[in-house]
Structure 1
Amino acid sequence: MMISSGDLVTRKSYQHDIIFRVKTQAASIVKLMGEHIRLEADAPLDDLEKVTGAEFHRRKNKVDEQEAYSYRLFRQDYRLLKEKREAEAGSGYTTGKEANYFQIPPRILHIDGDPLFLKKCIALYEQLGLQVHGQYLNEKEMPDQVLPLIEKVRPEIVVLTGHDAYSKAKGTTRELESYRHSRYFVEAVRNIRQHYPNFDQLVIFAGACQSHFESIIRAGANFASSPARVNIHAIDPVYVAARVAYTSFMDHINIWEVIRNTISGEDGLGGVETKGLLRIGIPYTKDQEET
């Protein structure tokens, strides 16, 4: 069977459970990237089967339904947060006058090891009305490149994600060396925290599919994947960042409410107590609209 870079395939040995994109091939070993989840894998050529157009669209429709459901959940939560902000902003008016406020959401730096996933995430940030700077970086480059990017962008939220995978052949789930890219996420987070130690001034999400959750959290991330070493969906990090971005800095974030908006759920994502980063101001003026 002829396999080329960019082809969509499944693995016979895993009962065709996941659709992958072919990244590279060396001899009879093929490097694969998840098409909808943040998983990287190697597979022998004879274990692969190309995905038909009909099968791809069947699975894509299922993924689209999951994404639409997560989006609806987020929009519901956003409306509740907005109603709370409006009530608080209008509490100083005694004549029933409508609250006239503006909001300043935080800047987001999203660094991704997959350019296609990055593009998809940027589109979702924009759909959610958030200001984001996206940067593609190979996971191995993140520890050295993350601080210069932070100095340039000056974000309040940093998302570090891409592809990862646990390999049983390399060791137990407790050993960081058993993971394809987890150590790079850990090093990048640790480097950030050496310069930005306050968890509530710079919020970090880090990790990908099957990542070593505990090590990433210990390094200083507010949120990370993957507690149960499961695969996480490509856009899950966006919903985590968006929840932080639209929660007032006066409020603590309910971790469960963050996770329930994601496709992966609590097996795929977790975190520590964190404050929101949204600030509101009064009054709203036309000049602000023009700028």
Structure 2
Amino acid sequence: MLESADIIIQKQVELAEILNRFSGTDGVHATAISSLYCIRNSNITEPIYRVHQPALCIIAQGAKEVMLAQESYLYGPSDYLVVSVDLPVSGQIIEASSEAPYLCLRLDFEPNQVIEVLEQSELKTAARGEAQRGLFISHTNASLLDAVIRLMRLLQTPEDIPALAPLVIREILYRILKGPQGDTLQQIALIGSSTYRIVEVIECIKRNYDQPLRIEELAELANMSSSSLHRHFKDVTAMSPLQYQKRLRLQEARRLLLSESTDAADVAFRVGYESPSQFSREYARMFGLPPIGDMKRLRMSPEPHLV
């Protein structure tokens, strides 16, 4: 009988084979399961900036570093990463080659799916405690890998997807909720928890990212004092509400500059800056170069930077 570690390695090899089959070329590939994506890359990359929506990410081959504010999260085939709230992050593939490409799957999910699993299972509901970080890494186990592989195998029989994919996705979420950091994932679904209220604040900032930030209104929305809002918001996102908004603005500005032939000052105003010079300084602080220099670098690079 195979030891547990050997079983996990065997499953990782199988998962890598399926991911390679359904990606084929470098990039992010949508699948017949609407919330499931196959990701492949043959090269180490520069940091890629995006707002990461709630998702499970499992690497079958290679390694990646994710930066949340000043925090670094390294993970590879022995770990899985869960993002439970919308977070502006950067991700950099740090281990990949043409012989052994980076292979990863991303399974997006919604808080209501977590609620359904909690309602349909006998899992003990966590206490509505302090807000917890909206990103965590845990060690992969055989039960989770088995469910993920069964979900990937459904891509081989598309006619089975409508009936079986929702069931397997619920099992995957159940496995995460049973894991060592399951309480953290539960918090996004527990009405009245600090994390749940911070999610509402995040949604408000996202909708109005180009407008002046009014902390008092956000605190009222969360039913917290301004100081409590700052503390809980930082517990979840590793940044203050103002820093979160700034990252949304700068990432959107970068997207606009790369996708449209437009003036940096015009983009600055569109994302909510009143001073183009302040925009340029903060842009350079985040991306390493001012807008014009950054655009030249990105357009010369073969790597996708806005995936």
What is the TM-score when the length of structure 2 is the normalising length? 0.25
TM-score (norm 1): 0.26
Q: Quick check: which one's helix share is greater?
A: 2
